Amino acid sequence: MGIRFDNSYARDLPGAYLRLNPAVAPAPELLILNDGLAAGLGLALDGHAAEWLSGAAVPPGADPIAMAYAGHQFGGFSPQLGDGRAHLLGEIRGPDGRRWDLHLKGSGRTPFSRGGDGKAAVGPMLREYLMGEAMHALGVPTTRALAVVATGERVLREEGMLPGAVLARVAASHIRVGTYQFFAARRDAAGLRALLDYTIARHDPGVDALGLFDAVMARQCRLIAQWMGLGFIHGVMNTDNMAMSGETIDYGPCAFMDAYAPDTVFSSIDRQGRYSYANQPLILGWNLARLAETLLPFFDADGERAVAVANDRLDRIAPQYQAEWLAVMRRKLALEGEDAGDQALIDDLLAAMEAVGADWTLTFRRLGTAALDAGLAAALTHWMPRWQARRRADWSEAMTRANPAIIPRNHLVEQALTAATSGDMTPFHALLAAVTDPFATLAGREKYGMPAPDDLPPHVTYCGT
């Protein structure tokens, strides 16, 4: 049966990509295949997973392209970015009729490579696999990894020569805010109109441009609120990393907080803290403003009215995000209904957590079992009665369902990736099993629920290019 492709992006948007094949992996070896995802998509790889999902061979029916997009990177605009080390093989339809992109990352240089080698190392590709599957298990919209394939060649990075790999990932689409910026920067009205029509047909049938913006805003507000509720820091919220589908995309310098500190940054290149934990809701609004700028001609033919429409929508972002955030935190704290004092209740808890450096994940899990450590318990002496008066009758069970016991702890991720780079996948498989069952009891899995030892240096992540 193979893979049934239907390549609408290449067919309908000829100005949005360059057609070219992935680099040929010289000795592909399958490191991990997401069997559950493959089965859910109805894929029959027929023993060809390693070659088809690495670039060693193009699957029948695929039409490989490098997608074009622009983007604001750390606030600076680049009118042309694009897939510098990635190829969209094409689109597949699942058994339910939904369309999914099948995309390779680390699959070789393209004309968008901007000086890079187009390749990727085993560690960063396995990181994306692990993080995507963890987020999926946590109920967060995300791209997902189908496979990681070692290429049989070495790539040069700062650490030296490392084993190369290609990630095969699946997404509802790879249309980004930066895709819209690509056409807007070129004043290509016809291309922008075609992209708008295509996006609406694929993600929000029946709406107009304003309806699409509203839908994207709703998805992104909900997504970022979910990130914040989990202590997740994306690390590179550039406009080319905001997907119109509302999925988390591109797990580069991402990580989960241990101790709660709003200014936490993990990315080695984010020296100003632009994409810190606390700034993520602000960047949400900033990125959506950039999207609105590209859609102005479709909001209203009159320029002044179009700006007024856009500003009205942008004014709604903060309250909409706040509503999503409150919904997330009410679930985490098992609050009964809604109350005007909930914001103050949440703020006071976070202030106490920050003051004592409480672990984000453990705090909410232990609140549900009344097992807080002494320092935080003392800080919450006056807070506890207020919370007890607001919580549901089944609060303990509800909090166990809402708060994970396990997240991808940074030190364990690094240990697993270091071992995998040396050829030992055992720690990776064990960690993957733990993070994809995040709400179950810790019994027998205690090490996966604990933060890093105090003597470890601060965690730093890199973009992996």
Taking the CA atoms of residue 123, residue 129, residue 131 and residue 132 in that order, the dihedral angle to the nearest 10 degrees is 160
Phi, psi of 65 (to 5 degrees): -140, 155
End-to-end CA distance of the chain: 35
Report the DSSP pairing between strands 99-105 and 160-171.
antiparallel
Question: Could you give the residue ranges of the DSSP H alpha helices within 205-302?
Answer: 209-230, 280-299
Q: Which helix (H) or strand (E) holds 379?
A: helix 374-379
Which residues are the active-site residues?
A: 240
d(CA 420, CA 157): 16
d(CA 449, CA 104): 32
The residue whose two tokens read 């895709």 is 179
Q: What phi-psi label fits residue 97: left (phi over 0), alpha (psi between -120 and 50 degrees) or beta?
A: left
Q: From 243, 234, 233, 225, select the one nearest 287 (Cα to Cα).
A: 243
Local structure of 270: helix, strand or coil:
coil
Which residues lie closer than 8 Å to 311 by C-beta, 6 or more apart?
none
- Give the number of other CB atoms < 10 A from CB of residue 463: 13
d(CA 235, CA 459): 13
The residue whose two tokens read 């409480």 is 358
